[in-house]
Amino acid sequence: MSSGKIDVRSPAFPLLFLVASIFIGASLPRVSSQNSTSIEQIFQYDSYRETCPDAEKIVWSKMADIVSGNENATAQLLRLLFHDCFIQGCDASVMLNDTMGMPNQTTERHADPNKTLKGFDFVEEIKELVESECPGVVSCADILVLATRDAIALSGGPYYPAFTGRKDSTRYYTAEATEEIPRPNSNISETLRLFAQRGFNERETVALLGSHNIGRINCGFIASRINMFDNGAIPLDFLRKMRTTCQVPTSSMRNSENKLKVKRVYETSRSMQYYEGLSSSSGQLPGGGFGNHYYQALLKGKGILTADQELMANEQTAKAVFEYAEDADKFRFDFAGAMMKLSNLNVLVGPAGEVRRICSSVNSS
């Protein structure tokens, strides 16, 4: 469809709905049932239809406003969701901003890999609106999942079914986040190992990393890549473009890491136009446009992150890159399925969690 969304009336929607249902059964080790209530009754599609029937409408409406006014919002929410779900599941633990009375503690939100996360304010704004309509009903974890799904669709990406009924965590996981969030300079073996621990195969990993087709990257994340000597590992024109964009003089590459944080390298379709001379109508879409140019860049050796370009160093992941570079529809479908799987990781339901009143604090604070 030209809109870039998967319509609920189309054949693709029921198929994705079935895929989402299958993913649930494989992703729920932290489920804690309440008495005889089954998981299907707690975690399901449109779970707020009786308790807060306008919840998803509120999320969509607010995200439409946010995305129209902030072209980086979608990428920020995608990264925030990934960092939350990748560590102990989608439980909004990354949003906690207080140490709950424990001195000398660092929250998950302030763990090293999470220090540059953004998008917290978007979730809090939506939470406030939903709370005014249905106090104490909709979790921050569900709002983050729904807001990210809607932002993707509003940026021209696929619209996919999102199950709801998650609870919010009452604790954070700083050590786990520090150790287990994939690094921007990881080699392919390390990346695949971390994703495999969460049940993702090679193709699903490649599909999820396709989220890098929108947003922007802090130049500090690519220091090791643009500090490389001109040895042919990176196309020289691309290397020079990255160095110019990050304002790094060639003669001072080794001592430039602090300077790298001054400017940012953009990964939107418009940045790819800057790097590769491509023209793309997707650059006119809110949020910078969603497409398969990320994979096309990898085929030319022009991945911005080391971890991105490393996808070409493995036979299975390289095969997926080739397929997605040639078939944008296949990428979109696989990306939607991978996002549903990510969103359903290790969901927290029942008395083990809570519905926070404020996303940055547990209710007992």
Whether 261 and 283 share a structural domain? yes
pLDDT digits (tens, 9 = 90+) for 224-255: 777 765 556 788 888 888 888 777 655 444 44
Is 182 annotated as belonging to a binding site? yes
Percent of the chain as helix, strand, coil, to the nearest 5: 55, 5, 40
Whether 140 and 259 share a structural domain? no
Whether 359 is covered by a domain: the verdict is no
Whether 137 and 284 share a structural domain? no
Q: Is the dihedral of CA 148, 150, 153, 154 positive or negative?
A: negative
Whether 328 and 347 share a structural domain? no
Mention every residue, 6+ apart, whose C-beta is less than 8 A from residue 171.
Answer: 93, 96
Whether 273 is covered by a domain: the verdict is yes
The encoded tokens of residue 89 equal: 């599941």
User: Facing residues of 281 across strands?
Assistant: none
Domain total for the chain?
Answer: 2
Query: Is the pLDDT confidence value at 276 over 60?
Result: no
Q: Which residues are catalytic?
A: 83
Q: Are the beta carbons of 124 and 360 closer than 8 angstroms?
A: yes
Q: Rounded distance, CA 34 to CA 42, Å?
A: 9
Instruction: Assign residue 110 the CATH number of its domain.
Output: 1.10.520.10
pLDDT digits (tens, 9 = 90+) for 161-188: 999 999 999 999 999 999 999 999 899 9
Whether 48 and 150 share a structural domain? yes
287-311 in b/e form (b: 16+ CB < 10 A) is: bbbbbbbbbbbbeeebbbbbbbbbb
Q: What is the mean pLDDT of residues 200-224?
A: 89
pLDDT digits (tens, 9 = 90+) for 52-78: 999 999 999 999 999 999 989 999 999
- In the chain, the amino acid numbered 265 is V
Q: Rounded distance, CA 230 to CA 66, Å?
A: 41
Query: Is the pLDDT confidence value at 34 over 80?
Result: no
Comparing 234 with 82, which gets the higher pLDDT? 82
Residue 190 CA, chain-centre distance (Å), reads 19
Whether 305 and 224 share a structural domain? yes
Whether 135 is covered by a domain: the verdict is yes
Is 93 annotated as belonging to a binding site? yes
Query: Is the pLDDT confidence value at 307 over 90?
Result: yes
Is 334 annotated as belonging to a binding site? no
Q: What is the mean pLDDT of residues 197-226?
A: 89
Whether 196 and 319 share a structural domain? yes
Whether 3 is covered by a domain: the verdict is no
Residue whose tokens read 């989608």:
90
Whether 102 is covered by a domain: the verdict is yes
Whether 26 and 167 share a structural domain? yes
pLDDT digits (tens, 9 = 90+) for 108-147: 999 999 999 999 999 999 999 999 999 999 999 999 999 9
User: Residue 283 — φ and ψ, nearest 5°?
Assistant: -65, -15
How many CB atoms are located within 10 Å of the residue 188 CB?
A: 20
Residue whose tokens read 């998650």:
166
Most confident by average pLDDT, 47-51, 201-205, 214-218: 201-205
Q: Of 351, 335, 358, 320, which is closest to residue 82 (Cα–Cα)?
A: 335
232 dihedral zone (left: phi>0; alpha: psi -120 to 50; beta): left
Whether 171 is covered by a domain: the verdict is yes
The encoded tokens of residue 267 equal: 């990964």
Is 89 annotated as belonging to a binding site? yes
Is 108 annotated as belonging to a binding site? yes
Q: Point out the least confidently predicted range of 29-33, 269-273, 285-289, 336-340.
A: 269-273
Fill in the DSSP letter of residue 80. H
Whether 7 is covered by a domain: the verdict is no
Q: Rounded distance, CA 239 to CA 229, Å?
A: 9
Whether 134 and 205 share a structural domain? no
- Predicted local distance difference test score (pLDDT) of residue 223: 75
The encoded tokens of residue 101 equal: 């009375």
Instruction: Assign residue 318 the CATH number of its domain.
Output: 1.10.420.10
Whether 362 is covered by a domain: the verdict is no
Question: DSSP alpha helices (H): ranges in the chain?
Answer: 12-25, 39-42, 55-69, 73-85, 120-133, 140-154, 174-180, 188-196, 202-209, 223-226, 236-245, 269-276, 293-299, 306-309, 315-326, 328-343
Q: Rounded distance, CA 146 to CA 77, Å?
A: 10
- Predicted local distance difference test score (pLDDT) of residue 30: 53
Whether 146 and 214 share a structural domain? no
DSSP assignment of 265-289: EE-SHHHHHHHH----GGGGSGGG-
Domain range enclosing 259: 188-340
Q: What is the mean pLDDT of residues 4-9?
A: 36
The encoded tokens of residue 295 equal: 């994979």
Whether 270 and 239 share a structural domain? yes
- Predicted local distance difference test score (pLDDT) of residue 240: 82
Q: Rounded distance, CA 208 to CA 214, Å?
A: 12
Whether 160 and 223 share a structural domain? no
